[in-house]
Structure formats: structure tokens, C-alpha cells
Amino acid sequence: MGLYTKLFQLNPAELSDLHVEDFYPSFYLDEQAPKDQMLDLDKSLPGIKFLLSGSTDVQNPNQHLLIGKTIQLADGDTNIICEVLMPDEIRKVNMFLSDAKVSDLKKNFDPPAMTALAIYPDIWDYGKESCDYLYTHFLALKKFISHAAQCGKAVVIMTA
């Protein structure tokens, strides 16, 4: 287990009454929110960040993709990291993802380097299958963020 990421779209007005516990069923039990309001990235986010940046250097701004303001959980659950990106931040992420070139993603897919750098999950020796896994999740992320940007939504990011 570990580093599963799910994203949820909300209207900014809903954030004032946000109860993170409301997301638990969707996160843990795979109860589906409407498809256009939830995205399950599985364990792909560290790999997507690597494809976008070509490194694990924390100084690279692409490593900070989908890092927002941390939301404190009411029950003190420390196994879940919950962050929020507001609509203006989502528009910036959307512009960045829209500009991402498939050729750069493919160029940055380097299984030996990803294994040596311990990019999670450790599936990089599967070759094309692991590349397809990341690319499929990248396309879903790009579509999800584009929809959120067009609708002026905030996005809650939950990682456990």
C-alpha cells in the first residue's frame, strides 16, 4: 500500500464547509463520486512528476505539481495527506499540463534511472506496460484538471 492519490473537484464555496471525512468513503471504499468530479491516480503521481521534470530534484518546479495548501484532518488521521488547490492554481496547473509535450514525457521515461532513483512504484522494469500506465494516468489527469479549470473548480488532493 502507499501513495495512492485521488482528486476531487469542488466549487470554491463548498470549501468553507469542507469535512474531509466526507471523502473517506470515496477514498477507501472506492465508492464513486461522479466521474467528472473524482480522479483515481492510483500510484502514478510520482512517476508522472518524473516524466514531466526528468528528475527528482526538489528545486524543479514540476516536482511541486499538485501540492496545495494542507487541510488539517478533524480526526487527526496522519495516514492521509489532504491538500487543496484553488481555481487560480488549477488554471496554472492546466496551462502547464496543456503545454506538456508527449515527446518530452517519452524522452524522460528512463526505467533504469527511475529504478535507481527509487521512483514509486517500483514497476519500471516492465517496459512499455509501465510507460503506458503512466501515460494513461497522465492523460486522465490532464483531462480532469482541464475540466476543473474550465468550470472554476477547486481540487482536493488526497494521498495515503
Residue 121: count of CB within 10 angstroms of its CB: 14
Q: What are phi and psi of 70, to 5 degrees?
A: -70, 135
CATH numbers and ranges of domains, the chain: 5-18+40-159 (3.40.1760.10)
Torsion over CA: 53, 51, 4, 16 (sign): positive
pLDDT at 21: 62
Give per-residue pLDDT as tens, 61-104: 666 677 766 665 555 555 677 788 899 999 999 999 999 888 88
DSSP string spanning 9-68? Answer: EE-GGGGGG--GGGGHHHHHS-PPPPGGGEEEEET-HHHHHHHHHSS--TTSGGGGTT--
